[in-house]
Amino acid sequence: MSETPTAAPAHDTTGVALPASRTRLALIALALGGFAIGTTEFVTMGLLPQIADGVHISIPVAGHVVSAYALGVVVGAPLVATIAARRPRKTVLLWLMVAFAVGNLASALAPNYPALMVARFVSGLPHGAFFGIGSVVAASLVPWHRRTSAVAMMLAGLTVANVVGVPVATLLGQRLGWQWPYVLVTLVALVTLLAVLVWVPGRRVDDASSARSELSALRRPQVWLTLGVGTVGFGGMFATFSYITPTMTHLAGFADGAVPLILVVYGVGMTVGTMLSGRVAAHGMLRGMTAALAAIAVLLAVFGELAQLKATAVIGVFLLGMLPSVLVPLLQTRLMDVAREGQSLAAALNHSTLNIANALGAWLGSVVLSHGLGYEWPSRIGALLAVGGIGIAAASAVLARREAVAGA
């Protein structure tokens, strides 16, 4: 689909153009929120034994704590984006971070398993909406051709969390108790609240914005196709990453103590990929999505072989972090383009579908393993999912051409 370029700078509520330094600070504030969210999302996975002991449950049951958070993301993203359609986006971001802080503080104070499940669900509710609405705000702060780079800078907070936040929080939880990472995340959320309040400019509410206008995005086939690319294409990555620890220990021969460092490599790859996404977008959104999916498919097809040796396994993990992270900002920007007046809802739904992809990939991986196949097989199934994502992207491109011809 064609894009209308413009170089109009961002403005605050007074109509005054924002200086570049203020724009950077606003993006940093949004990225800080992404850092807090990324830390709380992934640290739980690394502390399941400690959580299980702390609330007197088994480790498999403790895994439901992760699912409770993911369910909060899936439910909260479309719900908040729709209900808050007529509210100033800055105000919504502030309240989302308040809810996020409350949920994490409640997680730290949870006296038992049921209370912890409720607290994790509440913590997940703001996740997708913050990224969705924050992405719309980030894109509005910069000229048209830099939208993907601005969205990527916000999402960089999520990737940096995997390099710094998750390892530090995990170590804190192992040394002081599983509650303390949630206390740390609560403090970061409060800092984010202050940063958004001070640095993110307020915007007038669009008179055309409403729950109905947001829901109108769901009538657009291109929105569903783009969400399909994320669900199917990203499912391949999660089919592999969900079993990354046993893959590294069983196939590559790493000791358990090396796994945190391998996950840092994965986080570095995520950060690099997110930063590259803006350059990839310059060659066309759909073209970039297709190229990223093709690269992911190739990587997943050979990942089982790469994992046979320590050196190539580390390279494979880096690429597993990098290539899908190129795709996420492209999907986010593409959704905002095709959703038109339903941008906030569509962008928030991206994170709901990525959590569905997480569940889909992990389930398919478990099916393969339960049939007696080795740890090199989940990634091969993942390669097929990535190819499926390419097919959906191709269908989106065909539809875009038809729409362009019809509108000519």
Instruction: Based on the fold, state whether residues 237 and 328 are members of the same structural domain.
Output: yes
Measure the CA–CA gap between 71 and 86, rounded to whole angstroms.
25
pLDDT tens string 242-274: 778 788 888 999 887 787 788 889 889 988 998
Question: What pLDDT sits at residue 60?
Answer: 66
Three-class secondary structure assignment of 181-195: HHHHHHHHHHHHHHH
Looking at residues 220-232, what average pLDDT do you find?
90
134 or 245, higher pLDDT? 134
Instruction: Based on the fold, state whether residues 163 and 259 are members of the same structural domain.
Output: no
Segments forming the whole domain that contains residue 406:
206-408
Question: What pLDDT sits at residue 210?
Answer: 61
208 or 214, higher pLDDT? 214
Question: What pLDDT sits at residue 400?
Answer: 87
Question: What pLDDT sits at residue 191?
Answer: 97
**Per-residue pLDDT at 161 exceeds 70:** yes
**Per-residue pLDDT at 101 exceeds 90:** yes
Question: What pLDDT sits at residue 408?
Answer: 56
Instruction: Based on the fold, state whether residues 199 and 214 are members of the same structural domain.
Output: no
Instruction: Based on the fold, state whether residues 200 and 235 are members of the same structural domain.
Output: no
By percentage, how much of the chain surpasses pLDDT 90? 38
Instruction: Based on the fold, state whether residues 189 and 227 are members of the same structural domain.
Output: no
Of the pLDDT bands very low, low, confident and very high (cuts 50, 70, 90), residue 12 is very low
Which of 8-17, 206-215, 278-287, 312-321 has the highest mean predicted lDDT (pLDDT)?
312-321
Q: Does residue 165 lie in a domain region? A: yes
Question: What pLDDT sits at residue 202?
Answer: 81
Which of 205, 231, 256 delimits the end of a domain? 205
Which of 149, 173, 205 delimits the end of a domain? 205
Measure the CA–CA gap between 143 and 155, rounded to whole angstroms.
18
Looking at residues 267-285, what average pLDDT do you find?
87
Question: What pLDDT sits at residue 239?
Answer: 82
Q: Does residue 2 lie in a domain region? A: no
Instruction: Based on the fold, state whether residues 216 and 319 are members of the same structural domain.
Output: yes
Indicate which CATH number applies to the domain containing 342.
1.20.1250.20
Q: Does residue 8 lie in a domain region? A: no
**Per-residue pLDDT at 344 exceeds 80:** no
Which of 67-81, 209-223, 256-270, 310-324 has the highest mean predicted lDDT (pLDDT)?
310-324
Question: What pLDDT sits at residue 212?
Answer: 72
Question: What pLDDT sits at residue 180?
Answer: 95
pLDDT tens string 32-82: 999 999 999 878 876 777 888 899 988 667 777 877 888 888 888 888 878
Instruction: Based on the fold, state whether residues 259 and 382 are members of the same structural domain.
Output: yes
pLDDT tens string 354-400: 878 877 887 788 788 888 888 889 899 999 999 999 999 999 999 98
Instruction: Based on the fold, state whether residues 286 and 408 are members of the same structural domain.
Output: yes
**Per-residue pLDDT at 276 exceeds 70:** yes
Instruction: Based on the fold, state whether residues 181 and 229 are members of the same structural domain.
Output: no
Instruction: Based on the fold, state whether residues 181 and 116 are members of the same structural domain.
Output: yes
**Per-residue pLDDT at 279 exceeds 80:** yes
Which of 143, 170, 205 delimits the end of a domain? 205
Q: What is the mean pLDDT of the chain?
A: 85
Q: Does residue 4 lie in a domain region? A: no
Instruction: Based on the fold, state whether residues 269 and 185 are members of the same structural domain.
Output: no
Q: How many domains does the chain have?
A: 2
Q: Does residue 302 lie in a domain region? A: yes
Instruction: Based on the fold, state whether residues 145 and 249 are members of the same structural domain.
Output: no
**Per-residue pLDDT at 162 exceeds 70:** yes
43 or 86, higher pLDDT? 43
Question: What pLDDT sits at residue 15?
Answer: 44
Q: Does residue 7 lie in a domain region? A: no
